[in-house]
Structure 1
Amino acid sequence: MAFYTKAAFGPDCSLGYLARRIHQIGQSLIEPVFAAEGMSGTQWSALMSMLAGRSSTCADLARDLSHDKGATTRLVDAMEQQGWVTRSRAIDDRRVLNLELTPDGEAAAIRCRDRIITYWNVLLTDWDRDEIEKLIELMQKLRTTLDDALTEGLRP
């Protein structure tokens, strides 16, 4: 049986709306952390993707951030100018651009991460550990469902 119905559908129960609003509000709250480092939230996401080992090439980074190649190139240009990343051509395939965090890039990403951890812990003070863990579990499950739909080309 389907969960959503025409009669009982609106912003307060729409997964898309709720995810977007949570992201918008969260970004606006933590933006000062990035501004203090002279970076944007997108740049921090890119640095963290690299730090976590999710992205070692421009193509990996584009996929992880859901950016097109042009936007990713501009993003990497800006991070390279800041001295946070270096890029080099792969020896075996000159089309591939390898990315590497510089010590300054790693340090900036870690400083932001640590401030964000502290801030999230303040925001979640009234939440039980089980609630947080369950929310993360459900969000991971939804991400997997959406990733699978994307991979399978399941579109409306």
Structure 2
Amino acid sequence: MAFYTKTGFGPDCSLGYLARRIHQIGQSLIEPVFVAEGLSGTQWSALMSMMAGRAATCADLARDLSHDKGATTRLVDAMEQNGWVTRSRASDDRRVLNLELTPDGEAVAIRCRDRIIEYWNTLLTGWDRTEIETLIELMQKLRTTLDDALTEGRRA
């Protein structure tokens, strides 16, 4: 049985709208952390993606951030100019650019991460641990559902 109906559908129950608004509001609240460190939220996401082992190449990073290759190249250019990443050609395939965090890149990512953890913990003061864990589990489940749909080519 379908969950959504024409009469019951609106922004307050739309998963897409709610996810977008939560992301927009959350980004605007934590942006001062990035500004204080001289980077953008997207740059921090890229550094964290690399630090978590999710991206070792420009192509990996583009996929993980859902960026096109041109935008990712510009992003990596800026991070390299700031001394946060290095890139080198793979020895077995010259088309592949390997990325590596520099000590400065790792340090700035960790400083931002620690301040963001502190801020989120402040925001979630009124939530109990079970609520937060349930929300994370449900968001992970939704991410998997959407990733599967994308992989299978099930677009609207």
TMscore range, shorter length = over 0.9
Query: Could you tell me which residue of structure 2 aligns to residue 88 of structure 1?
Result: 88
SS in structure 2 of the partner of residue 98 of structure 1: strand
Structure 1 consecutive aligned stretches of length 4 or more whose deviation exceeds 4 Å: none
Mapped partners of 2:33, 2:40: distance in 1: 9
Query: Could you tell me which residue of structure 1 aligns to residue 65 of structure 2?
Result: 65
Mapped partners of 2:95, 2:118: distance in 1: 40
What RMSD in Å do the two structures reach over aligned CA positions? 0.3
| 1:21 Cα deviation after fit | 0.1
Mapped partners of 1:155, 1:146: distance in 2: 10
Query: Could you tell me which residue of structure 1 aligns to residue 99 of structure 2?
Result: 99
Query: Could you tell me which residue of structure 2 aligns to residue 140 of structure 1?
Result: 140
Mapped partners of 2:100, 2:37: distance in 1: 19
Q: Percent identity?
A: 89
Q: Does 1:31 align with 2:31?
A: yes
Mapped partners of 1:69, 1:8: distance in 2: 39
Mapped partners of 2:69, 2:155: distance in 1: 23
Mapped partners of 1:20, 1:38: distance in 2: 25
Mapped partners of 1:128, 1:80: distance in 2: 41
User: Which sections of structure 2, spanning at least 5 residues, go unmatched?
Assistant: none
Using the size of structure 2 for normalisation, the TM-score is 1.00
